[in-house]
Amino acid sequence: MKSISLHGEIRKNLLPVCCLMIIGLAGGLVAIIQADTLAGIIDGAFLGGLDIEQLTFPIMILLASAFARALFLWLGAITGSRLAAKVKTDLRRRLMERLFALGPAYSEREHAGELLRTLTDGVENLDDYFAKYVPQLATAILVPPVILAVAFSLDYAAALIMLVTAPLIPAFMVLIGRWAAHLHRRQWAVLSMLGGHFFDVLKGLTTLKIMNRSKEQIIVISRISEQFRSSTMSVLKIAFLSALALELLSTLSTALVAVVVALKLLYGGLTFYQAFFILLLAPEYYLPLRMLGTHFHAGLSGRIAAERIFAILAMDGHPVEQNNKQPLKQTQGISLAFENVCFAYRKEQPQVLRSVSFQVAAGERIALVGPSGAGKSTIIDLLLGFISPDSGTIQVNGQELQDIKKDDWLNHVAYVPQFPHLFQGTVRDNIQFGISGGIEETQTAARQAGAHEFISCLPAGYDTLIGEGGTGLSGGEKQRIAIARAFYRQASLLIVDEATTGLDPHNEAIVKESLLRLMNGKTVLIIAHRLSTACQADRILVLDQGKIIENGCHRELYENRGLYYQLAAAYRGTV
Residues that bind ligand ATP (CB under 6 A): 105, 108-109, 345, 352, 370, 372-378
166 makes contact, choosing from Mg ion, ligand ATP, none, with CB < 5 to 8 Å by partner type, with none
d(CA 293, CA 151): 23
Pick 502 or 521: Cβ nearer Mg ion: 502
In sequence order, what DSSP letters do the residues of 309-342 get, joined into one string?
HHHHHTS--SPPPPTTPBPPPP-SS--EEEEEEE
Phi-psi region of 355 (alpha: psi -120 to 50; beta: other; left: phi over 0): left
Nearer to ligand ATP, 217 or 418 (CB): 418
Nearest to 495 by CA among 478, 473, 471, 519: 519
User: How many angstroms separate the CA atoms of 137 and 7, rounded?
Assistant: 13
User: C-beta of 378: minimal distance to Mg ion in Å?
Assistant: 8
User: Cα 194 from chain centroid?
Assistant: 17
Q: Which residues pair with 575 in a beta bridge?
A: none
CB of 345 to ligand ATP, least distance (A): 3
Burial 336-345 (b: 16+ CB within 10 A, else e): bbbeebebee
Virtual torsion, Cα 560, 562, 565, 570, nearest 10 deg: 170
Cα distance between residue 70 and residue 481, in whole Å: 58
Of residues 351 and 395, the one with the C-beta less far from ligand ATP: 351
Cβ atoms of 332 and 402 within 8 Å: the answer is: no
Q: Is 143 or 380 the residue whose CB approaches Mg ion more closely?
A: 380
Q: Judging by DSSP bridges, how do beta strands 539-544 and 425-426 pair with one another?
A: unpaired
CB atoms within 10 A of CB 184: 23
Beta bridge partner(s), residue 337 = 359, 395
DSSP letter at 499 equals -
User: Minimal distance in Å, beta carbon 418 to ligand ATP?
Assistant: 7
Binding site residues, Mg ion, CB under 5 A: 377
77 closest CA partner among 143, 6, 24 = 24
Sign of the CA dihedral running 142, 144, 145, 147: positive
Identify the CA nearest to 493 among candidates 519, 528, 529, 527: 519
Task: In angstroms, give the least distance from the CB of 337 to ligand ATP.
Answer: 20
Q: Which C-beta is closer to ligand ATP: that of 109 or that of 517?
A: 109
Q: Please give the backbone phi and psi of residue 493, each rounded to the nearest 5 degrees, phi first.
A: -120, 130
What proportions of the chain, in percent to the nearest 5, are helix, strand and coil?
A: 65, 10, 25
Q: How far is CA 65 from the centre of its chain?
A: 43
Query: 109 touches which of Mg ion, ligand ATP, none (CB within 5 to 8 A by kind)?
Result: ligand ATP
Residue nearest to Mg ion according to CB distances in the complex: 377
Q: Cβ closer to ligand ATP: 71 or 105? A: 105
Strand segments, DSSP code E, in 373-437 are 391-396, 399-400, 413-416, 425-426
Helix (H, G, I), strand (E, B) or coil at 547: strand
341 bridge partner residues: 356
372 contact choice in Mg ion, ligand ATP, none (CB below 5 to 8 Å, kind-dependent) = ligand ATP
Task: Note whether 401 and 483 are within 8 A (CB).
Answer: no
